[in-house]
Structures are given as C-alpha cells and as structure tokens.
Structure 1
C-alpha cells in the first residue's frame, strides 16, 4: 500500500508536467491557425505566375525559407521568440496554400471540397489525438517506420515532379494522408509519454502533420470530386 502511494506521488509531478505541455501545445496550435488563414487569404489573391515560370528556383527559395524558420524555432524554442518564429512560419505556409486553393476555388464545387478537406483533417486529428491520449499503448515503435515512409514519399514526390504522372500523384497523396495521420498518433503519444517536453517543438511537429494532411487530402478530393462545369 505504501509503495503504491509512493509511486503515485512520484508520478504526479511528471503527469502534471505532461498535461501542461499538452495544454500549451493545443493552445499554441489553435493560435497558429490564425496566421495560416491570413496567409492563405493573401496567397489566394496573389499572382503565382513567377512560381510556374521558374519552379525549381521557387522551390529552392521556398524550402530555404521554411528550413530557415525551422532553424530559428529550434534555436529559440525556450523563449518567446520561438513562438514568434513559429507563427511567422505558419503565415508563410498559409501563403504557400495560395496556388492549390486558387485551383480548388476555380472548381464549381471548390468551396465544398475545401470544407470537406478541412473538416476531414480536423476529424482525423481529433480521433487520432484522442486515441494517443487515452490508449495505454506506446506508439513509439511507429517512429522508424514513419520516418522511412516519409523519406520514400519525398523521393517519390521529387521523381514525379519530372515525370508528371497523374496516377502517381494520386497514389503519393493517398500514402501521404496515411503517413501524416500516423505521425499525429505518434507525436501526440510522444508528448503524453513525456518524450517531448517543449511545447513549441511539439506544436511545430503537430502543425506540420496537420498541414501536410490537409494539403494531400485536398488534392485527393479535388482529383476525385472536382467539377469544372
């Protein structure tokens, strides 16, 4: 009996710390959606002709900006500057949604498709986050498989940039939906198990999962349901 009491007492601080990280992560994740939406609205009104005319240069510049933000967030993860850089990144990524949203809203049922993609992304996140929080199972074993899958996904995406095979694009997006859904389960469970104690880095991981899940789900719905009439 005494041992049980001691175990509970010793586990309580870590449980409280984990709950605090989770609460702060969800709060910052919610806040990060605002600059994303603002960026997306601005991106939809922009002319992206320069991206189409110089796709490789545009990709290099975009990736440089994104990875630069990753570096700044990592360096400032223990200060309020980390939050500032994270929100700046979410604005930039919202801006990058401009081209795909322009295509989506050019469809007669584009509004419905975007709503379905956003709702589907939210539903997937809530279900998987709930499972990760309530399940006693440790999902850390998924990390290696998800990372291998992500590397293969990136390589396949780069290859398809040159081959431009529509069926391959659909397959890549379908696999991406599964991989980033798996990452949501893995990352939330990692926070719950105490594997991630910094809420800024935890938010960054979950945000990137949600962002990529939304983009690929939107692409799939556009391909399967898009109506140009």
Structure 2
C-alpha cells in the first residue's frame, strides 16, 4: 500500500514530464511549416485584402477556426499531428500581409527580428517561471477566457471602425493576454490539467503566434521608419 502511494505520484510526474517534453518537441517542429508558409506568404499577392478590408480578415479567421476545430477533433490520432502542422503552415501564409508591410519599411527587417526575439524571450521566460515554480495558474482560466472573448469582439469591431488608437490598444492587451496564457498553459501541463500534447502544442503555438503579430504591430507603429 505504501509503495502504491509513493509510486503513483512518481508515475504521474513522469507522465507530465513526457507530455511537456513532447509538447516542446512538437512546438519546435511547428516552426518549420510556419517559416515555409511565411516565405510563401511574402511572395503572395494579398491585394484582395485592400479591396475587401472587412471580408478578407473574416475569411482568414473562419479558415483558421475551422482548422482549429479539425485539430481538436483529430487530437488523439496521427491525423491530429498532420492537421496541426497543416494549420501552422496556413498560419504562416497568413503572416504574409503584416510581414510585407513591415519589410516595406526601411528598418522592417530589424523590426521583424526584434518581434521574433521579443516573442522568444517572453515565451522562454514565462515557460521557465511556470516550470521552475510549479505553481498552479489554473485560477487564471476564467479571467483569460473572458479577456479573449472581449479581445475578439474588439478586434472584429475595429474591422468596421478602423481606429488607429484602438488597434494599438488591442495589440498591447493581446501581448499581455497571450503572455498570461503561456503561464496558464504550461502550468496546466505540469499539474496534469492537459495530457494531450497535440492540444498543448496548439495552445502554446497560438499564444506565440499572436504575441509575435501584435508585438510586430506595436514596433511598426512606434519605431517604423517610413523614410
């Protein structure tokens, strides 16, 4: 009886470490199709977005949401991995418009590098905090979900109003919100709240993806050199 009491937590800890390890490996793998997709997006023509400034983003959002549901539905099979990699490839292509806009600036390459470096620094710092402290951040779940819904609503509303100040506010809040999601998601893995590494990878990928986009938007707004 004593052996079972001791060994079960040990076995649980090993399983959680396995999920975390597989998640980080899969997360690193998702960067490959993302970069390939981004290179394709850079050479693609997104002029239709200027012609349909509202419908085009909504269509892109619908495509990504559909693929997210497919990943969730297939998460327990090898097709879930394939769909996840497919999703990250499409997400990379959808980086095309913002990367094209950034690289049209004289210091655009520097800003993209700063956004990528800042995103990496945020991820590794917060993931390390969650891993080392092993603190349970699950209490943040409801607040983060409400914040995410409000952020989506505000983003959709700004498609119609196109207020620059609101765009900057949304980007600043998004960086903070998805940074908090990294703490929350890594904590869930460590504490056994998430045992599927496909879903864990998708959650962390979305946080990294959104932090990069909104951090780049802020850098372009405040440091972009248009001369």
TM-score, normalised relative to structure 2 = 0.96
Alignment partner, residue 124 of structure 1: 122
Per-residue deviation, residues 114-166 of structure 1 (Å, max 9, x unmatched): 00000000000000001111114211111111111111111111222222111
- The structural deviation recorded for 1:70 is 1.3
- The structural deviation recorded for 1:67 is 1.8
Alignment partner, residue 111 of structure 1: 109
Question: For the Cα contact (< 8 Å) 2:38–2:94, is it kept in 1?
Answer: yes
- The structural deviation recorded for 1:57 is 3.1
Per-residue deviation, residues 62-113 of structure 1 (Å, max 9, x unmatched): 2232122112211211111111100000000000000000010001111110
Alignment partner, residue 214 of structure 2: 216
Question: Does 2:84 correspond to 1:97?
Answer: no
Given the alignment, which residue of 170, 173, 176 partners 2:171?
173
Given the alignment, which residue of 186, 189, 192 partners 1:191?
189
CA RMSD in angstroms comes to: 1.3
Q: How many residues align?
A: 227
Given the alignment, which residue of 31, 34, 44 partners 1:33?
31
TM-score, normalised relative to structure 1 = 0.95
Structure 1 runs of 4+ off > 3 angstroms? Answer: 5-8
Cα distance, 1:139–1:60 mapped onto 2, change above 3 Å: same
Superposition map of 1:31-70 within 5 A: 31-70=29-68
